[in-house]
Amino acid sequence: MIPIRDENPTHRPAVVTGLLITACLSVFLLVQPTASRAFDEPTSDELVDEIEFIYEYAAVPCELIENRPLTAREITASQVNGDLNACANTPEPDSLIPFPDKNIWVSVVVSIFLHGSWLHIAGNMIFLWIFGNNIEDHMGRGHFAVFFLMSGIIATLAHVAIQLDSTAPVVGASGAVAGVMGVYLVWFPRARVRTLVFITVIPLWPRLPAAVLLVVWFVSQFYIGNDSGVAWMAHVSGFIFGVLAGLIGRSDKLRT
């Protein structure tokens, strides 16, 4: 199910939501080497550039657990040998480190604004725009900006907690967007969302209550699995954090 628009008007322009979407798109189009993959098969040099960029800037569970950048051997084991759990607890003292100046903790925030493909970023930005504008409107711009980043950070750390030895980079705003969706479920469960649904090959556009769409999305994350390449725990934890924040915000009259 893909949301198209919601029937939930706002009172103020969604400035922060727009800036977040602009930032993600700008990084993807102007900074990341990934964008060209949607149109042409990347050359070997382009693929190397893409891999190097992601490892230089994205969060990696092994790095966060070991508090150090990956070694060349760990990256090679992941990308050449396919061993995505190549984290060495005690790397050799003379190990080559391709990115020795990488700030692994800053990478947790940077990863929120990196995406793996056009489909990845398109899905995240659609969900962010549809659900984010209302949350920003009711939460306030400053609170919303902080909340979005906190959701992304918590989502990434939750993924790390179940992938301690992973040497696969974590990219995408999915966890942060999931947090926004969690708040929306608490605050606007009855808001109608025009949703694209495929029954076999027949597309339908029903007006579903937001609660139906969001709960179905949340439950579906448990069927993805660790081998899919999707950080499903980041989605789940971001969503749960959003639900809790929504409940706290509602009880404390955080909305303005």
Other C-beta atoms lying within 10 Å of the C-beta of residue 247: 14
> Are the C-beta atoms of 52 and 70 separated by less than 8 Å?
no
* Strand pairing class (2-6; 202-204): unpaired
> Are the C-beta atoms of 169 and 56 separated by less than 8 Å?
no
Could you tell me the sign of the dihedral formed by the alpha carbons of 213, 219, 223, 224, in that order?
positive
Distance separating alpha carbons of residues 126 and 91, to the nearest angstrom? 42
Distance separating alpha carbons of residues 137 and 123, to the nearest angstrom? 22
Residues 93-123 as b or e (16 or more Cβ within 10 Å = b):
eeeebebeebebeebbeebbbbbbeeebbeb
Domains and CATH numbers, the chain: 2-251 (1.20.1540.10)
One digit per residue, the tens of pLDDT, for the chain of length 256 reads: 788 889 999 999 999 999 999 999 999 999 998 765 555 666 677 778 888 999 999 999 999 999 999 999 999 999 888 888 888 877 776 678 999 999 999 999 999 999 988 899 999 999 999 999 999 999 999 999 999 999 999 999 999 999 999 999 999 999 999 999 999 999 999 999 988 876 655 556 678 899 999 999 999 998 876 666 788 899 999 999 999 999 998 765 444 3
What would the two tokens of residue 117 be? 């493909």
> Are the C-beta atoms of 167 and 60 separated by less than 8 Å?
yes
* pTM score, whole prediction: 0.89
Output phi, psi for 193, to 5 deg: -125, 120
